[in-house]
Structure 1
Amino acid sequence: MTLIAPHITAFLQQRLPVERRASVNTCDSYAYAFKLLFTYASRRLKVPPSQLHLEQLDPDLIVGFLNYLETERHNGPSSRNTRLAAIKSFMHFMEYRAPTALEHIRRVLAVPSKKADARLVKHLTIEEMQCILDAPVPNRRDGVRDRAMLHLCFAAGLRVSELVGLRLDNVQLGPHPSVLVHGKGRRERCLPLWRETTSALRAWMAVRGQAPFPELFLNARGEPMSRAGFEYILRKHARTAASRCPSLNNRRVSPHLLRHTCALRILEATQDLRKVSLWLGHAHMQTTEIYTRADPSVKLEALEAVTPPTLRSGRFKATDALIASLTPSTVMQRRRHQT
């Protein structure tokens, strides 16, 4: 039997951050996945989490855990598959650390992912986005900061982790304003800034003041802005904007919704999916293709470029007594006779 505690510690502290150079967000996500798994396994097997063995995490328990995520925690297929990916990554790590458990590991690796619905990406209209950008009142320090964060998040199509992780030296406000973004997978991208975004950033940096932290955006305590902090700020200004734009009342406005809105604006302006992919920092073009399903202009171009087949005119003639009795005129006549 292979005690799992020392191996999961090595996986989270050595394998992910050092050997794989995974981001802090990835490490945190994997750690949380195993926290949920070990809590579930401990409750089901009546064993303390620190005393769990690798062989106890069999396919039946893993499938039961995944079902628990969906039924009791109400996670969607995407979150379910993310937790399963963390488990499989750990099992690959264990292949050379516990060769005697290879057959068990392969059975766990055979647990399939769940297919998720490919829904259209949600986005905001130009009017809705403008109302949110105008919501912060720039006569206070926090209003100046919030306006700069909202403008930059939308204009650059940033993930929330990319936004709160920006440092002062990542922003260039010289002759050609730009921002250096450290994205997922340790991929960097340099994006130009609109004049309005540059003005909002200049206003914030003028009132930011000196702080012992290199991060660009600070909270009310003068500490680096957190993910939860920006999500709260966005929800607050979305509620304010809803008073002028009623369509926002039924919308759940998240940082990723601003990213989707930016992507669709770029696609509409350029009609070039490759430019959208570069702007968002996607590793694969397949990820960017979701925006072609949401952008109706792409389908309209195809519709206009194709000549539709001619439709032969004619009327349907019933050739059977039953079919003839089911025509609307016959049914109406029968009702009149009955009345």
Structure 2
Amino acid sequence: MTAARSANQDAIAAFLAMLAAERGAAANTLDAYRRDLNGAADLIGDLVGADRAALAGLGEAWAELAPASLARKASALRQFYAFLVDDGRRDDDPGDALPRLRPRRPLPRLLSHADIAALFAAAEADAATGDSAAIRMLALVEMLYGSGLRATELVSLSMVAVARDAPLLMITGKGGQQRMVPIGERARAALNTWLRMRPAGGRHVFPSPRGGHLTRVRLFQLLRDLALRAGLDPERVSPHVLRHAFATHLLEGGADLRVLQILLGHADIATTQIYTHVDGARLVDLVNKRHPLAGVAVKPAC
């Protein structure tokens, strides 16, 4: 192994250890950073000692990448070089020579209040028949829209996380991070009804007949079937769309962005800001009603 390659591997290992220890980065995140850094090292050789010209050349090597992939690789390297400076391995930070293309994050599809009402009307009508699968479906929908859970968080929910009549759920989210999520009265009632009918045994709230828990794919399928019965386009409905509707409708109702960040389990509030795409008319109305000068007459010019 060459000296440069050895130095690269040592620095990359130290950087990843820092991410794991100080930022609680998940294993998948660490693997992605490792691949990006090793890929850059394959292109320029001496990654630790690379100068600005070498890093600028990466833009050409990455020219065919999708914008999101290019932005991710550049971000990984910028963080890596900032770490090298902080760790005393370099005196300068050449990271500003890297491409700065920022991908546009597409907004998830949004369901209106009328769409949500139609979806719940169908779910409640199905559950009224007393069918256990329909009662389970109502509980799933109530918790997706009522608590903003991710699909994985919902299907993997354990019995120990659901204390009887407690207003909060203990959720384990991305990276193993835990958070408390409120569960509304409607969702609690639907969940309690399901728990009374739930098959005995197992540790998951929504068990699978084959063992383990309901899968994300099956949840996706069940939700689209429900959308069809509600008269909605099934292409517009998914677990994430309901989570998005939960966030957007809370903001429309006046929820604080920081509170929403906690409810959704976002590590960075920048992720939460994707849910602030309220319409321009509402923003104008908000300024006209809440600004300190709202309602103050304008003095005519002399």
- Normalised to the residue count of structure 2, the TM-score between the two structures is 0.68
Deviation at 1:121, TM superposition (A): 6.1
For 1:114-263, what aligned pairs fall within 5 Å after superposition?
Answer: 114-117=101-104, 122-133=109-120, 134=122, 144-164=135-155, 166-174=157-165, 176-183=166-173, 188-206=178-196, 207-211=198-202, 214-224=203-213, 229-242=215-228, 244-246=230-232, 248-249=233-234, 251=236, 253-263=237-247
Residues 127 and 235 of structure 1: is their aligned pair in 2 closer, same or farther, counting only changes over 3 Å?
farther
Residues 69 and 144 of structure 1: is their aligned pair in 2 closer, same or farther, counting only changes over 3 Å?
farther
Q: Could you say which residue in structure 2 is the equivalent of 1:327?
A: none
Deviation at 1:271, TM superposition (A): 5.7
Contact 2:78 2:95 in 1 (8 A): yes
- The counterpart of 2:248, out of the listed 264, 284, 288, is 264
Cα deviations across residues 116-171 of structure 1 (Å, max 9, x unaligned)?
44876642112323444545965666655444333212211223454355433222
Larger radius of gyration: 1
- Structure 1: 5+ residue stretches without partners: 46-51, 71-75, 310-339
- Structure 2: 5+ residue stretches without partners: 298-302
- Pairwise CA RMSD: 4.3
Contact 1:2 1:98 in 2 (8 A): no
Residues 244 and 187 of structure 1: is their aligned pair in 2 closer, same or farther, counting only changes over 3 Å?
closer
Residues 122 and 241 of structure 1: is their aligned pair in 2 closer, same or farther, counting only changes over 3 Å?
closer
Q: Does 1:299 align with 2:277?
A: no
The code of the aligned residue for 2:246 comes to: C
Contact 2:152 2:216 in 1 (8 A): no
Residues 35 and 215 of structure 1: is their aligned pair in 2 closer, same or farther, counting only changes over 3 Å?
farther
Contact 2:167 2:182 in 1 (8 A): yes
CA distance in 2, matches of 1:274, 1:96: 30
Contact 2:169 2:183 in 1 (8 A): yes
Contact 2:224 2:235 in 1 (8 A): no
CA distance in 2, matches of 1:40, 1:284: 26
- Normalised to the residue count of structure 1, the TM-score between the two structures is 0.62
Q: Does 1:280 align with 2:270?
A: no
CA distance in 2, matches of 1:255, 1:165: 14
- What is the identity percentage for the equivalent residue pairs of Structure 1 and Structure 2? 24
Contact 1:121 1:291 in 2 (8 A): no
| Length, aligned pairs only | 282
